[in-house]
Amino acid sequence: MASNDKVYFMSRPIRVDYKVGVCRWLFLLLNTIFIDIISCWSCLSLGPILNNWFISPCLPLSFSLSISTRIMSVEQERTTRDHPKPPYPLHDSVVNRINPEYAAFYNTHIFKQQQVHLQPVEASRTSGTLIPGGGPLAPVAKTVDYSIPRQETIGPDIKIRAFTPNGVIPDDGWPVCIYFHGGGWVLGTIDTENVIATNLCDRGRSVVVAVDYRLAPEHPYPAAVDDCWESLLWVLGQGKEILQLDTTKLATGGSSAGANIAAIMCQRAAVRGGPKFLLQLLSVPVTDNTADTSNNGSWRENEHVPALPASKMMWYRKHYLPNISDWSHPEASPLLWKGDWSKLPYAVIVVGELDVLRDEGLQFGNQLHQAGVKANVHVMKGQPHPFIAMDGVLEAGKQAITYFCDALVRTMYPEACLE
């Protein structure tokens, strides 16, 4: 177990060996021919660099996005062509360490399926359930979708889904938890984690607001962060009356990329002086987008695990954060935040022992502990990344959801828990 391993981050300079000035005016002159040239360059992995350095400053936004999408498409075609096809048996480094329940399900239902990072993004988005093995929805009083306007950023209205629990509304209104789905900022929808959301609603006796934030590569960083902050502003404003909320009882949570966003919401709120979160529920959080196999113990140890091997995590990262300089930004890597950690809320963190993200989740909890903030951190033995979404077949998934629900109800109803 590497929970106490120290992680050293290495800085690697990047050199660009082509003429900046020439490329800038060439991009302005070429259209269809230019796109084909970029497609060829992308096969040499230069496309994203060129796109970040030159396209956006020079071309209209719509054309720049079109080129960016074309680059990603060509690179994805190359990736699909150059990698082995299914089946994908468990790697030798994993076989003797992985949870038997997960291994049995994987060998029966998953190992013959194409891996999402080895096919075009659109194929992964339309191939059905993102993570199989989920349990049933928990009962709630009502589920309503809303399209909400923005207050601080520019963009389309944002779709959210509000789950309201059964029972009598507390005198001051319902506690509320804003929840963000996983999927590497590239996959997933407002439907992806309804099981977790309904359990939090029912067993945590709170309104849960799920957010359908925009996805990369069409909408790279910081689009997801902006959308989720806007959803928080709506909950504190119009949503308070519409959903009958007590916004002094505010929590947030998410899984993987969604947990990354939830942690960032708490940090941004601390910087801005509010709102005050009472609780953050973080499942397998991405907290350090500078981590890789060269500088992080769990990345090296779990490089070839199923569900989220190192190559797949890098695939997500490069779609969401095409500009390498953003990888270390605290609103991409909340572990690297330089603010006052003592102002952050109580955290419940669950990580998988066989997850590349394990150590950065443990480090995040340790940072909170060092700042005097309570953090309950649970390492799910033998589990790879997606266990919480597989509560229908994994006991670890059921247990992780229970950790979250118990923490939510204890935080929001402390008097009742003392009875």
Which residues are marked as active site? 256, 355, 385
Helix ranges, 7-112 (H):
20-29, 32-42, 47-50, 56-58, 61-82, 92-95, 100-105
CA separation for the pair 31, 371 (Å, rounded): 53
190 token code pair: 């407002």
Give the orientation angle of helix 194-204 with respect to helix 395-412, to 10 degrees: 40
| Contact criterion met (CB below 8 Å) for 260 and 187 | no
3-state secondary structure 165-191: CCCCCCCCCEEEEEEECCCCCCCCCCC
Strands (E), 195-235: 207-212
Query: At CA 291, angle to CA 336 and CA 11, rounded to 5?
Result: 80
| Residue 48, C-beta contacts closer than 8 angstroms, at least 6 positions apart | 42, 71, 75, 318, 322
Cα 10 off chain centre by: 24
171 token code pair: 């005198």
Name the nearest CA neighbour of 216 among 249, 183, 194, 240.
Answer: 183
Write the single-letter amino acid at 124: S
CA distances from 87 to 83, 90, 106, 117, 133 (A): 12, 10, 11, 15, 19
> Secondary structure of the chain: what % helix, strand, coil (to 5)?
45, 15, 40
63 half-sphere exposure, CB direction, 13 A CA radius: 14
